[in-house]
């Protein structure tokens, strides 16, 4: 049976590819999408999610705007990486979908409560503000969610500061709430996602699909590659967010180790750091995991296969 997921995201180039992967993979049942401010403002990332869903041919999946700022901190965006629109590069189509009128946090709660315990997986590829507020408003959902698989953090340094990854850094208080809520958390961090590089041969494989969605992804990667080279010196851009979706599809593609994880909230130079405690075997009741790598060939195979299955939606 496909795994039922809700995708909480802030599109974002790599979020867009994560959305294509979730939409096109037969082992995923995407039942809702929620958006959160992060890569760009809430208004822009919600518009981007609706546009990407239009390109992907999604018609009946609710897409709802969530939180427009972190719990306590000043909003910060990644305009240097994702551009003024949050999805610079391709021409964004006029969305054929209308945003769900509910708040994204309510959609998370409603979705968790409307599925049997252990049936729904939450996949988060942006700041964790929506998930944190959902847990605070409805703590009963912790026992209903199978697991939370998130793109964020890392155990060997950051990308927005020397210590912290962007999604965790911009709302570390929310990350702390999510990591300590009591559900299973799989952190798909930079240790894995920095291996998922969109090399020229990968771009050629995607281009060879020959569909409008595939061309859209190629245009995404063209802009993303140039911005990553300019801002972080990567010759080929890492596509972080779809790696979290790949973990849900097949855990063997994105292996993870059980390890206690802590989010730093007060450090002068380490705010937002996700600290892995490897001093000994993880306690039996440890419910946090950190991804250790990614099988890049199989990962990109999933992305190409999803685009082929999506085809050319009308």
* pLDDT band at residue 118 using 50, 70 and 90 as cut-offs: very high
Is 13 annotated in the active site? no
Catalytic residue (choose from 13, 146, 176, 240) = 240
Token readout for 111 is 């979705």
**For 221-243, what is the mean pLDDT?**
95
Number of helices and strands in the chain (H, E): 12, 10
| DSSP collapsed to 3 states, 200-265 | HHHHHHHHCCCCHHHHHHHHHHHHHHHHHHHHHCCCCCECCHHHHHHHHHCCCCCCEEECCEEECC
How far apart CA 117 and CA 21 sit, in angstroms, is: 25
* Digit-coded pLDDT (tens) for 78-105: 999 999 999 999 999 999 999 999 999 9
**For 262-287, what is the mean pLDDT?**
96
Question: What average pLDDT does the structure give for the chain?
Answer: 97
User: Is residue 69 helix, strand or coil?
Assistant: coil
pLDDT at 33 over 80: yes
Identify the pLDDT of residue 155. Answer: 96
pLDDT at 314 over 90: no
Token readout for 183 is 């559900």
Closest CA to 13 of 80, 65, 88: 88
Which residues does 210 contact at the CB level (< 8 Å), separation at least 6?
none
Identify the pLDDT of residue 210. Answer: 97
Residue 157 has, within 13 A of its CA and on its CB side, a CA count of: 3
* pLDDT band at residue 67 using 50, 70 and 90 as cut-offs: very high
Q: Is 3-310 in CATH node 3.90.245.10?
A: yes
* Digit-coded pLDDT (tens) for 156-212: 999 999 999 999 999 999 999 999 999 999 999 999 999 999 999 999 999 999 999
How far apart CA 44 and CA 42 sit, in angstroms, is: 5
What secondary structure letter does DSSP report for 155?
A: S
pTM for the structure as a whole: 0.97
Share of the chain above pLDDT 70, in %: 100
H or E stretch at 299: helix 296-310
């Amino acid at each position: 049976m496909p795994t039922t997921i809700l995708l909480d995201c802030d599109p974002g180039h790599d979020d867009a590819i994560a959305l294509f992967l979730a939409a096109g993979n037969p082992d995923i049942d995407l039942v809702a999408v929620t958006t959160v401010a992060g890569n760009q403002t809430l208004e822009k990332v919600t518009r981007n999610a609706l546009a990407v869903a239009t390109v992907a041919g999604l018609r009946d999946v609710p897409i709802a705007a969530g939180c427009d700022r972190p719990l306590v901190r000043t909003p910060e965006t990644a305009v240097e990486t994702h551009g003024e629109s949050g999805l610079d590069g391709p021409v964004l189509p006029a969305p054929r979908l209308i945003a769900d009128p509910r708040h994204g946090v309510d959609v998370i709660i409603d979705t968790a409560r409307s599925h049997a315990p252990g049936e729904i997986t939450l996949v988060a590829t942006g700041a964790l503000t929506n998930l944190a507020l959902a847990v605070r408003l409805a703590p009963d959902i912790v026992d209903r969610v199978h697991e939370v698989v998130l793109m964020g953090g890392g155990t060997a340094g950051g990308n927005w500061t020397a210590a912290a990854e962007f999604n965790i850094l911009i709302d570390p208080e929310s990350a702390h709430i999510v990591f300590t809520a009591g559900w299973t958390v799989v952190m798909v961090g930079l240790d894995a996602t920095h291996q998922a590089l969109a090399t020229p041969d990968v771009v050629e494989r995607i281009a060879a699909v020959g569909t409008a969605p595939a061309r859209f992804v190629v245009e995404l990667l063209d802009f993303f590659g140039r911005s990553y080279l300019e801002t972080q010196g990567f010759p080929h851009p890492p596509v972080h967010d779809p790696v979290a979706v790949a973990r849900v599809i097949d855990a063997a593609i994105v292996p993870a180790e059980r390890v206690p994880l802590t989010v730093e909230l007060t450090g002068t130079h380490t705010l937002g750091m996700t600290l892995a405690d490897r001093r000994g075997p993880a306690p039996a009741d440890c419910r946090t995991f950190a991804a250790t790598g990614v099988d890049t060939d199989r990962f990109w195979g999933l992305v190409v296969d999803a685009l082929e299955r999506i085809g050319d939606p009308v």
